[in-house]
Amino acid sequence: MKFLEATYRVTGSNFRERIESVLLEQTIETPVSVAEQHPFVRENMMGRVEQVVQDGAESYLATLSLPVLTAFSDPAQLLNVLFGNSSLHADVMLEDFNLPQTVTDLLPGPRFGISGLREAAGVHGRPLTCSAIKPVGLRIDEMAEICRAFGEAGVDLIKDDHYLANQSFATFHDRVRACQAVVEDVAERTGRRPIYVPNLSGTPDVVRRQAEWAQEAGVRAVMMAPMLLGMPLLHELRMKVLDIPILAHPSFGGSVRIKTATLLGKIFRLYGADAVIFANYGGRFSYPPEVCRDIAGNLRAEWLGLNKVFPVPAGGMDADRAEELVHFFGNDTILLVGGSLLEAGPALRDKSERFVESVHAAAEGNIGV
């Protein structure tokens, strides 16, 4: 297959011309007359408008064929061909895309996905629970204490807040050492095996060393924010560095002009995330339930034979909503509740325990999505 398909939403009355200009922008980026001087370019690089469907007042969905020879040359180029320069047009949005199966030669997607992460956590048949160590500014011993409360309460994944980096007052190494020791101690004493998930942050070189060091130290999953650190780095970590699952954080991902379910549900998956955190409906963010359902749907859809990925609804989730969310998202879900537990202060462990129990209870006989 020489072409992939990308669908753009183009708004405005001048849509025919705009769609032609998107096609040029995402392919030869020269006047057509320039490209036509070269037979190889003409045959392989020019793409085509496949379909235009009106789906609202002055709103059109245009499906374009775009050249695989350019797009599949490296992980950055695929993004470039999908939505490089056209991302700069305020009236164009990347709506969706379809790739030929050969993309998996370049991007084999998540190494672990749902089944691998379940294996790592030793949890089957119910959603995983997750909470976060925060706020930034805590001392190492305070972080370890929170980690212990979550671990003893039976929380499956205990992740760093995404503001935890390598701050002078609480370094990456000290934090990871302390929290990893806690989860290992909890495992020894309870038989459960909570996973501590440190946040990786910095330039690619630094992140790579953090990842290697953490893995060496026994850490069983990590978190990173692909839009902040670079989507190609996610892929590189998955391919060359890590042999443990990767939790992807949506920070800095706020381009309104890639449809959320496409960015978080398809692109993050394709680049290798095993679990994807997103802002859930009814929390601090304003995504409607359908968007959340679509993200989860994309992450768990049959697609190119890629491993399926855990949706991680989050963002101001109240622990009391566990039952509702388990029913909405089903059992192949990680429920991330942070602030709502941490508010409990000294009752952190108790409140975490109730959260864990409510998830376990809701999961029994859950039919889910």
Instruction: Provide, rounded to whole angstroms, the least separation between the CB of residue 30 and a copy of itself.
Output: 4
The span from the CA of 126 to the CA of 332, in Å, is 7
List phi, psi (to 5°) of 149.
-60, -45
Between 8 and 329, whose beta carbon lies closer to a copy of itself? Answer: 8
* 350, two tokens: 């108790």
The span from the CA of 232 to the CA of 79, in Å, is 9
Instruction: Provide, rounded to whole angstroms, the least separation between the CB of residue 341 and a copy of itself.
Output: 10
The span from the CA of 316 to the CA of 338, in Å, is 7
Q: How many beta carbons lie within 10 A of that of residue 171, not counting itself?
A: 13
Between 83 and 303, whose beta carbon lies closer to a copy of itself? Answer: 83
Q: What is the separation, in whole angstroms, between the first and last Cα of the chain?
A: 34
Instruction: Provide, rounded to whole angstroms, the least separation between the CB of residue 363 and a copy of itself.
Output: 27
Instruction: Provide, rounded to whole angstroms, the least separation between the CB of residue 189 and a copy of itself.
Output: 27
Between 229 and 362, whose beta carbon lies closer to a copy of itself? Answer: 229
Between 34 and 53, whose beta carbon lies closer to a copy of itself? Answer: 34
Between 33 and 101, whose beta carbon lies closer to a copy of itself? Answer: 33
Listed in sequence order, the residues at least 6 apart from 191 whose beta carbon sits closer than 8 Å to its beta carbon are: none
Between 218 and 232, whose beta carbon lies closer to a copy of itself? Answer: 232
Instruction: Provide, rounded to whole angstroms, the least separation between the CB of residue 147 and a copy of itself.
Output: 15
Q: Please choose, from the candidates 177, 124, 117, 118, the residue with its C-alpha nearest in 3D space to the C-alpha of residue 147.
A: 177
Instruction: Provide, rounded to whole angstroms, the least separation between the CB of residue 19 and a copy of itself.
Output: 14
Q: Please choose, from the candidates 22, 31, 19, the residue with its C-alpha nearest in 3D space to the C-alpha of residue 82.
A: 22
Q: What is the DSSP letter of 253?
A: -
Calculate the alpha carbon distances from 78 to 74, 125, 174, 224 in Å. Answer: 7, 36, 38, 20
